[in-house]
Chain A
Amino acid sequence: MSAEILSKLVNLLSFVALGLTILLILRARLEGQVRAFALQSFVLAFLSVLIAIYTDSFQLFGVGVALVIVKVVVIPRVLNRAVAKIGISRVAAPYLGTAPALIVCVLLAIIAFYVMTPIASSNPLPTADAMPLAFAGVLIGFFIMVDRRRAVTQILGFLMLENGIFLLALLMTYGVPFIVEMGVFLDVLVAVLIMEVFVYHIKDNFDSIDVGELGKLKE
């Protein structure tokens, strides 16, 4: 595989990943949102394997496999279990409507290009061109977290943000070392499991998973 083909494929797949983040805003049903996340994680795993083949890196291949296990299989299952248990699958309850939210996404993408393009252009790797796309994914994931009232959609926003950061590191330096990548996966997995427990706690205590209800601690 030549550097040119790799570069094109990486650009295309990073764009797909960004599109899936934005899909989170368009999808009303939680199951659909979880699917969007799983699909995005699969795209990232595919990208890792692609780059692993290009660079002959066995470790990066391992990262791709671990990513499939953690983010395509385990975490979506955990989230689906939570969605089934709390019994509401509709309405993500955003603060902004769909149209304004999409405008915010566009603005965030512009900011991402503004910040990342100078750094990407000094980067000699064939994958670097797509760095602004990955960073846009980070910013939009962050926006989704802020914009959503439901605990489960906040978690999805966090996971998308996390995926964006993984992609950014992958494009910038072909990922961070294997041991660190595994540590990150472990942390994310534990964080999601803890968040799941909290979703149940919030549901039990407030009879709602609307985090807007959490407002007792004030000065």
Chain B
Amino acid sequence: MMLLSLLLIPLVAAAVISLTRRRAWMELLHTGAAIAVLGIGVAVAAEVLNGDILTVAADLLRVDSLSAFMVAMITFLSGVAALYAVGYIRAEFDDAHLPRARLFFSLFHLFIFTMLLAATTDNLGVMWVAIEATTLATVFLVNLRGSRTSLEAAYKYLILSSVGIALAFIGTALVYYAGAAKAGEIAVNWSALSAAAASLNPDVMRLAFVFIVIGYGTKAGLAPMHTWLPDAHSEAPAPISALMSGVLLNIGLYAVLRFKAVVDLNVGSQFSGGLLLGVGLLSLAVAAAFLVRPRNYKRMLAYSSIEHMGIICLGLGFGGYWGTFGALFHIFNHALSKSLLFIVSGNILWKYHSAEINDVRGVLHAAPWTGALFLAGTFALIGLPPFAPFVSEFIIFRAGLVTYPWIVATGVILLIVVFGGVLASVNRMLYGVPPAELPRGDGLRLWLAPLAMNLALLLALGLTFPPPLQAALERVLQVLGV
């Protein structure tokens, strides 16, 4: 029941909001739904991470600890983004543009629904449908401003993601075939597939995994299928960028993880690990090449997402207990820091009316809260202690040090390049003298308050790792078979 309401609330909210005419109603429904989803999501995650498994309608919905991990992340970050979105949309679309505000709020919840469905279904076909639906729900959000550049970004995003996800369907169909050839009837869900994994046809599973990595890797923004990402993430409104970078990319990774667990049981982790190390290192390199000297700060954040997806893939590729542990921890840390930064970038854009780094000077003077949050978020993102991403990156590279010293060395060098590039750019933005005609003070200051939670978590997890959390992550690792 709880699980069903988790999915129904955003779906119903999306439908009802699309019928409203007044801003007050939209905001009320939007905030109410977001808070309700957050509450239920936390409750679902807490119950499952304590050892339960929730199911609805046999194999349609099934929340194990890996799903619960995703549910916790989706609901928490969408809650934070939803609160900020109220203020952001008020500032961006006045009453003359109310239909756009309505479109935003309605699609926002449809987007949340599709992500939650992808994370909670046990059926790999339904998961495919849900992940394709995440693209369809967000494409108009990317084009919300209706400018030429946002139109271009949205069209590219739609076409490339649709093609990517179509290739993932071939992978899914191949896994269906492997399951069907084995059991005589089609084994369509994760539970049945993992049970039968050892006896599936290994050639089919290998080919399937290649399609899965290309297909869902497109959604996860892995190089060389990443070309849509910097455009879409930088053109979308800030709260949506925060969710696309912080959460939606992880849905792509989640799909890869699910398939990896089955493939590893079947052909061993060498095969999937090698593939992920390859795309991981390539993503890191592509991102580093751009991040040496970025010109646009939203694109900088977008490329940094490609970089972090690469790091996570390295962790999964190194594999074993610590590699996978570090990867999962880093998924969470990246989500927290990137959504924080994208939301704050919305504030900077609102203040300076430009996303070019060269146009932004002296944020710390002009808007102290915005600047301080951006600085703290940047420190977390580039892996400075005492923030949690430092710990997870350390765990990942430590895990690969013995077996893959060269990959670790290359990865660390690329990280240092990114470190320097991002820090220098943020430095130019935050310090210096702000333009004389710019009014002082933070815009939307109150709406930034929820970000304190992101920051507190990043700091707390960097300093301590509470035993209940460790136990919860270990349950997730069990699902992944490590």
A interface residues (Cβ-Cβ under 8 A, vs B): 115, 118-119, 122-124, 138, 142, 145, 151, 154, 158, 161-162, 165, 168-169, 172-173, 176-177, 179-180, 183-184, 186-187, 190-191, 194-195, 198, 201-202, 205-206, 211, 214-217, 219
Contact = CB atoms under 8 A, between A and B. Distances in A.
Interface pairs A-B: 9 shortest CB-CB: A180-B125, A183-B129, A169-B173, A214-B152, A187-B132, A172-B177, A173-B177, A217-B231, A173-B180
B176 A176 contact: yes
B271 interface: no
Contacts of B181: 123-124
A119 B203 CA distance: 8
- Which of B149, B176, B207 has the most CB atoms of chain A within a 10 A radius of its CB? B176
Contacts of B156: 214, 217
Nearest to B156: A214
Nearest to B133: A187
Contact of B295 (A138, A158, A177, A219): A219
B207 A119 contact: yes
A180 B188 CA distance: 10
Contacts of A115: 207
Contact of B129 (A145, A173, A184, A216): A184
Nearest to A116: B207
Given A180-B128, A219-B299, 19 more contacts: A118-B203, A122-B204, A124-B181, A151-B155, A158-B159, A165-B166, A169-B169, A176-B172, A176-B188, A184-B132, A187-B133, A191-B136, A191-B158, A198-B158, A201-B143, A201-B146, A202-B151, A215-B152, A217-B235
Contact of A169 (B123, B154, B176): B176
A154 B207 CA distance: 27
Interface string B131-166: 011011001100100101101111110110011001
A172 B180 CA distance: 10
Contacts of A191: 132, 135-136, 158, 162
B301 to A, nearest CB: 14
Nearest to A172: B177
A30 B166 CA distance: 24
A206 B173 contact: no
Given A138-B170, A173-B173, A187 B155 contact: no
- Which of B129, B156, B203 has the most CB atoms of chain A within a 10 A radius of its CB? B129
A182 B177 CA distance: 19
Contacts of B169: 165, 169, 184
B201 interface: yes
B169 to A, nearest CB: 5
B436 to A, nearest CB: 30
Contacts of A123: 177, 181
Contacts of B299: 219
Contacts of A180: 123, 125-126, 128-129, 188
B173 A142 contact: no
B82 interface: no
Contacts of A151: 155
B174 interface: yes
Contacts of B148: 205-206, 216
B interface residue count range (under 10 / 10 to 19 / 20 to 34 / 35 or more): 35 or more
- Which of B153, B159, B176, B177 has the most CB atoms of chain A within a 10 A radius of its CB? B177
A154 B163 CA distance: 11
B173 A122 contact: no
Contact of B173 (A172, A187, A202): A172
Nearest to A162: B166
B68 to A, nearest CB: 24
A166 to B, nearest CB: 9
Contacts of B152: 214-217
Given A122-B203, A216-B149, A145 B173 contact: no
A123 B181 CA distance: 8
14 contacts: A142-B163, A151-B155, A158-B162, A176-B172, A177-B186, A179-B125, A184-B132, A184-B169, A191-B135, A191-B162, A201-B146, A202-B155, A217-B231, A219-B299
Contact of A145 (B163, B174, B176): B163
Contact of A201 (B123, B151, B172, B204): B151
B173 A183 contact: no
Interface string B388-416: 00000000000000000000000000000
Contacts of A158: 159, 162-163, 166
Nearest to B232: A217
A119 B132 contact: no
Nearest to A154: B159
B290 interface: yes
A172 B174 CA distance: 8
Given A119-B207, A173-B176, A183 B155 contact: no
Contacts of A119: 174, 203-204, 207
A211 B155 contact: yes
Interface string B184-209: 00101000000000000101100100
A54 B46 CA distance: 49
B10 to A, nearest CB: 17
Contact of B159 (A118, A145, A173): A145
Nearest to B131: A187
Contact of A217 (B132, B146, B153): B153
A215 B231 CA distance: 11
Given A145-B159, A187-B132, A179 B126 contact: yes
Contacts of A169: 169, 173, 176
A211 B181 CA distance: 43
A123 B177 CA distance: 9
Contacts of B204: 119, 122
B129 A187 contact: yes
A50 B412 CA distance: 57
Contacts of B136: 187, 190-191, 194
B454 to A, nearest CB: 28
A165 B230 CA distance: 28
A3 B207 CA distance: 27
B306 to A, nearest CB: 13
